[in-house]
Structure formats: C-alpha cells, structure tokens
Structure 1
Amino acid sequence: MTGPESEGLTMRRAVCPGSFDPITNGHLDIIARASKLYDVVHVAVMINQSKKGLFEIEERIDLIRQVTADFGNVEVESFHGLLVDFCKQRDIPAIVKGLRAVSDFDYELQMAQMNNGLSGVETLFVPTNPTYSFLSSSLVKEVAAWGGDVAHLLPPVVHEALVERLGKK
C-alpha cells in the first residue's frame, strides 16, 4: 500500500448523499468542491423504495462516475438505509451538503443534528454557487418533459441521457 494510509495517516473522507435523478451541474459543483477538501469523496446514491425514479440506480451511478472521473478521488455507490450506517460502514466522519436557500437550511439542520446524535457524524454545509441556487433534479425533469432547454443545467452526457429517456416516453 502506498500513500497517506500506508504512512499511518488517516484518509480524510466525506460523503455527498442524494438521489441524483439525474445529477445536475449544482450537484456536480458541490462534489467538485468537496473533492478539493477531502482525500476521498463518496457519492452515495440513496435508494428510496417508495419513489420510482426516471433513471434506474445503476444508470445514475454510471452517469455520476462518468462526470466525476476527472476528479480522481470520487467513489460512487448506492445505499439503502440510514446515511449514518453508510458512514459507519466506511469510516466516513463527514457529510457534505449543498444549501441552495434558507429554506433548505431548516430541514438540513434537523437532519444534521439527528445524524450527529445517532453516530457523531458531522455535516458540513456548502453554499451553492448562485448560478445553481434554483436548480433541482425535479425541476430539470419537469422543464425537459415540457420541451424546455435544460442543456446548460446538466453535464453533456447527462443531458443526452435525459433527452433520450424522455424521448422514449
């Protein structure tokens, strides 16, 4: 083994969780910024059995891997269950969450406090780039379904996949 772990140093790890259906430029911005702060960033595609996504979990993982490949320190996988369990299983002490608006903060603060109380995992809030402050996967899908141009809101490979998926409907 080489690198910091072989020298007795601990790798700084964090997780960026979400459904990423699909991943947007806003998501990608938060992941990119986290990848500069941590040695390893885990992107956890959380599985919600009660929701049917536009993209299957494996498709989301593949798209995220493609658009984060150049970062070099991003690992992508799915997870079903509590985020704190994902963190415990992988020895991840931090969750990185993007905040678009004050309204996000109320909910995310409660989640952060619950996660910390359950496991000691810390949550770091990263303010979203103002360019993406309105952006959500749901909004992108809705606009695209009505024929709106969302190309500037998604990585090109994700936009292509979205157009293809909506064209099949």
Structure 2
Amino acid sequence: MSTVVLPGSFDPFTLGHLDLTRRAAALGHHVIIAVSHNPSKQGTLDLETRKAAITRTLEERDLSQSVEVRTLPRGLLVDFCRELGASAVVRGLRSQLDLAYEEPMARMNHHLAEVDTLFLLTDATLSHISSSLVREVHALGGDVSDMLPAPSMDALRTASAVS
C-alpha cells in the first residue's frame, strides 16, 4: 500500500473532498489528509476545528483505517511527502481551470523531489462545490447542507453563531 497526501485548507471539508478521499483510498492508497493554513484565503474555521470535523467524517464513513488527518507544516509539500514516505499527491480537478492551476505545481513537485501528482476528475454531481463558494453561500444565508458532511456543517454553523 502506497502513501499519498491530499493537501488543502479544507475550510470547510466538502463532499467533493470526501469523494476524492474515498476514491484515493479505494485505489489501495493510505491517504494522509494534510490540513493547511492558507494565508491568502480568508478562513472561517480554525485549523483544529477543520481537523476534528474531517476526523469525525472519516469515522462516520468507516474510512479512519485507511485515512489519517495531519497538519501540513509550513514549508514545502514535497518535504512533508518525503518525511512520510508518500509517493504522490492527490488533487481533484473540477475543470480545465483547475488543471491549468495545478499542472505547474505538479511539475515543480516532481522536479524537486520526484513526487508525482495523481489527478482525479471530480464527480460531475460535485464539480460545482468549492469551499470558497460554500462559505460565501452560507454567509449570505443559503443552505449548503447538501454540499457538506454533517461534521463540517456542524462546525460551520457553530462558527457562524460565534461570529
């Protein structure tokens, strides 16, 4: 079983993220979800809340044996992959725009450390979902409960009630 890393801010962890996780694990990989802080994004959920929601989701979906959740330390993703013995990074592609964004990073990761990137096409029924849009729709009073696992929805509601 090879180890792969699924990096992201996961603010919040969506059904699209869950689908990628499930599919990577079904391919026989040990998946490490690497939760990061992205300073260029306006966050809603703190790092520990995101990790807890993801962990609860994995437990509820019986994925906790093949998937673990870790914090992505500052620094290069490839250094984290090397430290864990991960052979690849997993990224989801919703559209050609995602590929245009992800391709240079994938090439750089391979150049720096021979870490490959496995691209999985997003399930067509989930391709409209992004954490950024979910946060925006939720902030404007829209219902996003059909785009999130229950623990992520609970975390988002709690964060909204506090702010």
Using the alignment, how far apart are the partners of 2:92 and 2:38 within structure 1?
A: 20
2:57 is aligned to 67
| Matching residue within 135, 148, 151 for 2:129 | 135
1:78-89 matches, cutoff 5 A: 78-79=71-72, 80-89=74-83
Using the alignment, how far apart are the partners of 1:129 and 1:13 within structure 2?
A: 23
Contact 1:13–1:38 (8 Å) recurs in 2 = no
SS state of the match for residue 12, structure 2? coil
Question: Residues 83-125 of structure 1: CA distance to partner in whole angstroms, max 9, x if unpaired?
Answer: 1011011110111110000110011111100000000000010
Segments of structure 2 that go 5 or more residues without pairing to the other structure are none
Relative to structure 1, the CA distance from residue 39 to residue 99 in structure 2 (aligned partners, 3 Å threshold; closer, same or farther) is closer
Contact 1:14–1:38 (8 Å) recurs in 2 = no
Question: Residues 131-160 of structure 1: CA distance to partner in whole angstroms, max 9, x if unpaired?
Answer: 111111110010001110000000012112
**How many residues are aligned here?**
159
2:152 is aligned to 158
Using the alignment, how far apart are the partners of 1:49 and 1:68 within structure 2?
A: 26
2:22 is aligned to 32
Relative to structure 1, the CA distance from residue 36 to residue 67 in structure 2 (aligned partners, 3 Å threshold; closer, same or farther) is same
2:68 maps to a residue whose letter is E
Q: Does residue 123 of structure 1 match 2:117?
A: yes
1:144 is aligned to 138
Using the alignment, how far apart are the partners of 1:30 and 1:82 within structure 2?
A: 22
Amino-acid identity (%): 46
> Which of the pair has the greater relative contact order for Cα pairs under 8 Å at 6+ separation?
2
Using the alignment, how far apart are the partners of 2:158 and 2:38 within structure 1?
A: 24
1:88-99 matches, cutoff 5 A: 88-99=82-93
**Where does structure 1 differ by over 3 angstroms across 4 or more consecutive aligned residues?**
49-52
How far did 1:164 drift? 2.0
Higher-Rg member (1/2): 1
How far did 1:39 drift? 3.8
Contact 2:45–2:155 (8 Å) recurs in 1 = no
Q: Quote the RMSD (CA, aligned, Å).
A: 1.2
1:8 is aligned to none
TM-score normalised to structure 2 length: 0.93
TM-score normalised to structure 1 length: 0.90
Using the alignment, how far apart are the partners of 2:151 and 2:50 within structure 1?
A: 11
Contact 2:50–2:152 (8 Å) recurs in 1 = no
SS state of the match for residue 45, structure 2? coil
